[in-house]
Amino acid sequence: MSSVLLVEDEEALRLFLGDSLRSEGYSVETASDGAEGLEKALRLSPDLIVLDIMLPGKDGFEICQALRRRGKPTPILMLTARNQIQDTVTGLKIGADDYVTKPFDMSELMARIGALLRRASAAGGHSAPAMVYEFGSIRVDLRGTEVTKNGKPVDLSAREFQLLRFLIEHRGETLSRDTLLREVWGYGAKIYTRTVDVRIANLRQQLEDDPKEPRYILTVQGLGYKFRAEGGHS
Ligand code: CA
C-alpha cells in the first residue's frame, strides 16, 4: 500500500481529499499547516506528498525546497490556484514533480498520483540514482532537472524541461501535438497546438547545434515530433 501525506490547510478539502485517497487504497496522513507538513514529511517518509502552496506558517515552496535540500526525492504533487502559472513554474523549478490546478477533477488528481508513484517505483523508489541521459554534447539529469550543453547550463523553462523529459522518456516514438499537450501541459489546459511548436523550436534553439537541421528533436511530417532513439542512461 502506498502512503500519501496530504498537506492542505482548508479543512473541507483536506477531509474530502483524505477520504478519496483512502477509498483508492492509499494510507493517508494529513497536515494542516506548513510546519506540521514538513515535520511529517521528514519523519514519516511517505511515498508521495500532495502539497498545497498557500499554507499558514511555511508555504508549499518552502517545504518542497527544504525536502530537496535534505536530499529527499519523495514525489511531490503541488496544488496550485488557477491563473497562477508562475506558481507552477516556481514549484517545478524547485523540485516539485507535478501539479494540479484548483479546482481540480478528482479523477485527474488520482491519475497524476498514480503516474508519479509508478514513475518513482520504476526509477527504483527512494534510493533511485540520478537518471542521466546524454546525447552529443548535451547532458540531461532527469531527477536533478539540470540540462547542460558542452558543460554549460542550458536555461529551460519548467515546461520546456517537462517537454524534453517526456520526449526523452518516449524516445523513438512518434508523439502527436495532442499527445504532448495532454501529457506535458495537462488535461483540459486551454492552450493552442501552436504552443507545442513554439516550445519545440526553443528546445532546438537551445540544444541542437543546427536548429534548422535537428539531429535529436525530429519533426515527423503531418504527425508530430520524435526524439531520436540513440544514446542511453548512465
Ligand atoms: Ca491553502
**How confident is the model over 141-171, as pLDDT tens digits?**
887 778 889 888 888 888 888 899 899 888 8
Q: What is the mean pLDDT of residues 220-232?
A: 81
Confidence at residue 24, expressed as pLDDT on a 0 to 100 scale: 93
Give the dihedral sign, CA 89/90/94/97: negative
Poorest-pLDDT segment among 16-30, 49-63, 118-132: 118-132
The answer to whether domain 3-122 has CATH 3.20.20.70 is no
> Of all residues in the chain, what percent carry a pLDDT higher than 70?
90
Q: In angstroms, what is the span from residue 201 Cα to ligand 1's centroid?
A: 36
Average pLDDT over all residues of the chain = 86
- Ligand 1 mean position to 8 CA, how many Å? 6
Give the three-state DSSP class for 100: strand
99 CA → ligand 1 middle, Å? 14
User: From the CA of 33, how far away is ligand 1's center (Å)?
Assistant: 9
The residue ranges of every structural domain in the chain are 3-122, 132-233
Give the per-residue SS3 of 134-194: EECCEEEECCCCEEEECCEECCCCHHHHHHHHHHHHCCCCEECHHHHHHHHHCCCCCCCCH
Architecture per CATH, domain 132-233, reads as Orthogonal Bundle (1.10)
**133: confidence class by pLDDT, cuts 50, 70, 90:** confident
